[in-house]
Structure 1
Amino acid sequence: MDWKKRPPAVLACLLVIHLLAHIDRNMLLGFSPQVIAELHLSNAQYGFLVGAVWVLSFGAMALVLGSLADRFSRTRVIAAGVLIWSLCTWASGHAQSFGQLVLARFFVASGEAALVPAAVSLLAELFSERRRSTAMGVFFMGIPMGVGCSFLLAGTFGASHGWRATFYALGAAGMALALPLACLREDRTAQAITERGAPFLQQMAAVLRLIRESRPLRHLLAGVVLVHVVFAGLSFTQLWLVKERGMDAAVIATRIGLLQLVFGTLGAVVGGMLGDRAARRLPGGHAALMALLVLLCAPLMIAYRFAEPGSPAFYAGMCAGAFLPLAVYGPANAAIMARVPAHTRSTMTGFSMLCINVFAISAGNLLAGWAIDLLGRQGTASPITYVLLGTDLVAIASAIAFACAARCARRPALAGIHATR
């Protein structure tokens, strides 16, 4: 069976795997009180588990495994990743100490880093440029759906059977999924050397050379990193709403989760579909659409920081913040894939994931926390409000980078128009 002749089925399979990845990734958040109590973790240890351990492993391995996906079978790379992260999810349920859980979660992140670079490259190959953004958007629906399902599982199956049994069940499900996936053959050795990725160092040199030589690509990567600073603000949102807006922690946690699930999923689908239309109709294509999406969401996100809790403006801004980052995934990945050779697509995706995790998520969370503490010590009223407004403005600044990418993309077309006159 030639599975590549069934792109919708491949997309559906990749979405299921992506959904499982984000359930496994976020399940620890759903069980945080139980895990902290049973393993006697400090807040700092828990923060290390869900922060630095994940970012360092996931970001670095995305680059390494992306280069392997450009050189060898992408289905086998994904299958190996699923097997590793599922085995280590199962092992997380056996952890009896902080050190054991750190080790297990480190390899969960390492395994999950195999999925996105290989999957994005596959989708870019299987779907034409006219449908690529939609396919990417559907694939990235796995992020909000996985976050929502992880909390749902924690509150249902987890409440009845405990956190350890939940990790065992998820690990077993993933290992069962990895076996048939590994049977999907993709013989990259039959391709010419120029159509396959090179060894890691050569591949990295090729990717860096592409970035250095392509101004639109540099602007696109900068915009993608900046828009992800929204997630740094999200990390402190519940704390902000409880401490500075006087809302009930349990109530607002449920609402945040529901809105992230609904509007994150909506953003992924709508952004992907609009991306395919924009590529053909808007001057500047995907990049112009992303700049427009940011500018449309910006007023709502800023008003949200000052609106009365529970007001229409308040929830409109919260929904916009959930919608925006997912809405750019489809068009951003489609635009980047269109500017790089096929044999570097997975490595380029891994590089963008590394930049997002290091600069937007890790550094963004660190700087936001530091700024909140600093303003608090100086006696500033509502320090969290000002810091989260700052993260919003940084994310909104991505519109500048996307606009620059759109302008660069228009130049060849404009040159052609002038040449015919």
Structure 2
Amino acid sequence: MGWKNHPRAVLAALLAVHVLAHIDRNMLLGFSPQVTRELALSNAQYGLLTGAVWVLSFGVMAVVLGSLADRFSRTWVMAGGILVWSACTAASGAAQDFGQMVAARFFVASGEAALVPAAISLLTEIFPDRRRGGAIGVFFMGIPLGIGFSFVLAGTLGAAEGWRTTFFLLGAVGVACALPLLLLPDRRAAVAAPAPAQRTPVRAHLRAVVATLREAPAVAPTIVGFVLVHMAFAGLAFTQLWLVRERGLDAATIARQVGMLQLAFGALGALVGGFVGDGAARRMRGGHAGFILLLLAVCGPLMLAYRFAAPGSLLFYAGMCAGFFLPLATYGPANALIQSQTPPHMRSTMTGVTMMLINLFAIAGGNLAVGAVSDRLAAGAHAAPLTAVLLATDLAALASAFFFLRAAVRGRAPLPDAPPVQAVLH
């Protein structure tokens, strides 16, 4: 139990692992010209690798591994996931054709699905409620940091050693990170791990998800709102195409600007959303949900104005940065709210369900919808098809305010440590 007495050290270690996860996840994007050329991949094949192959694996396994993390050792589940994704990251470097790369990336996604559900449950246990959102916000800094470092490594180490060697080295680093976790026993607090829940069948455990949603009425609208906010990420995937094709900006220049601003304001959003959200939640009537409503009210008008502002103007960059800031700023307060309203033995599972819905509906479905609708508008001679569709993704993200408002109204005090849906597990 000694390692749990050092929550900041645990948070730092989990952040480092989360950064590594997003480096491994996004390294394929950094090496896209080299990989597609050497493996003779079409654009469609590359799109499958970065989209459907990843999302389907990650989404399903997030629920399965979240359930395992609730019933068994979270440290072992994380260690197993890191070993799988690291071994398959190395295997990505050895791939000789599309099929081999599909298999490798599928299992990279499966392994990475173990991290977030187990880590969020662990952080919820070792950090008090008043600091929980800040801790979760720091953890989710791994997303922008990992994306940024993946491109940096591709341009430095990758340029010197090649993409295959870089994948091999990342795999070795991951294995080295996983092994110490196997030595850390996850002895949960007695109230956080009732004995019947640890060995309950998976089907019964997943049925308890529905019971939890009934018991905690603020959780369902928070999850729906959280999924909708991620429609901003669907728009982000097409941002550079929009800026070049319809706003007339230089591709190389805007790529550097988008990368740096996304890294800076994504990380800032995670920090502000986490730490400021914790303080605001104690003072605002709507708690964490009320704070997210405030974020939407501030960032929303800027995001919409950005679509029509003159390129290079202050309003243009303010709106762009607001779009990078907002989604990451919701991670701390939204997850803190979900965790506080979820029984301790269901927290990893509920996080897994949330991650699955985000990946299936916002990331995969959102990207597919943006591409398909913009193609259809372009075929119909629409003057600015991407502008129209990306404006729709912004409006979808801002529509999350309706659900966060419902969460703020329905919100109540955190559930007691003794789980109220225990009978469901028998």
- For normalisation by structure 1, the TM-score amounts to 0.96
Where do 5+ consecutive residues of structure 2 fail to align?
A: 415-426
The answer to whether the 8 A contact 1:195-1:342 is kept is no
The answer to whether the 8 A contact 2:273-2:332 is kept is yes
Structure 1 Cα separation of the partners of residues 165 and 366 of structure 2:
34
CA spacing shift, 1:125–1:197, aligned 2, 3 Å:
farther
CA distances 1:350-389 after superposition (whole Å, capped 9, x unpaired): 0000110111111111111111011111111101000000
Structure 2 residue 86 is matched with structure 1 residue 69: no
Letter in 1 for 2:170: L
Large movers: runs of 4+ above 6 Å = none
Letter in 2 for 1:183: L
The answer to whether the 8 A contact 2:59-2:359 is kept is yes
**Cross-structure match for 2:237:** 235
Structure 2 Cα separation of the partners of residues 404 and 12 of structure 1:
34
* Residue from 348, 353, 361 that aligns with 2:350: 348
Between 1:181-190 and 1:60-69, the stretch displaced more is: 181-190
**Cross-structure match for 1:135:** 135
* CA RMSD, 1 decimal: 1.5
**Cross-structure match for 2:171:** 171
Structure 2 residue 291 is matched with structure 1 residue 289: yes
The answer to whether the 8 A contact 2:309-2:316 is kept is yes
1:188: Cα distance to partner?
A: 5.8
1:274: Cα distance to partner?
A: 1.4
CA spacing shift, 1:264–1:189, aligned 2, 3 Å:
closer
Between 1:208-217 and 1:111-120, the stretch displaced more is: 208-217
Structure 1 Cα separation of the partners of residues 354 and 199 of structure 2:
17
CA spacing shift, 1:364–1:197, aligned 2, 3 Å:
farther
Structure 1 Cα separation of the partners of residues 198 and 340 of structure 2:
17
1:213: Cα distance to partner?
A: 4.1
1:203: Cα distance to partner?
A: 1.1
| Same amino acid, percent of matched pairs | 63
SS in 1 for 2:381: coil
* Residue from 251, 254, 278 that aligns with 1:252: 254
CA spacing shift, 1:237–1:387, aligned 2, 3 Å:
same
1:411: Cα distance to partner?
A: 10
**Cross-structure match for 1:377:** 379
- For normalisation by structure 2, the TM-score amounts to 0.94
1:187: Cα distance to partner?
A: 4.0
Structure 1 Cα separation of the partners of residues 214 and 34 of structure 2:
48
Map 1:348-367 to 2 at 5 A.
348-367=350-369
Structure 2 Cα separation of the partners of residues 263 and 293 of structure 1:
14
SS in 2 for 1:215: coil
SS in 1 for 2:94: coil
Structure 1 Cα separation of the partners of residues 72 and 198 of structure 2:
8
* Residue from 260, 277, 280 that aligns with 1:278: 280
Where do 5+ consecutive residues of structure 1 fail to align?
A: 413-421
Between 1:179-188 and 1:306-315, the stretch displaced more is: 179-188
Map 1:73-222 to 2 at 5 A.
73-187=73-187, 191-194=193-196, 196=198, 198-222=200-224
Letter in 2 for 1:175: V
Structure 2 Cα separation of the partners of residues 188 and 402 of structure 1:
31
Q: How many residues align?
A: 412
1:196: Cα distance to partner?
A: 3.6
The answer to whether the 8 A contact 1:197-1:203 is kept is no
1:199: Cα distance to partner?
A: 2.3
CA spacing shift, 1:189–1:213, aligned 2, 3 Å:
closer
**Cross-structure match for 1:38:** 38
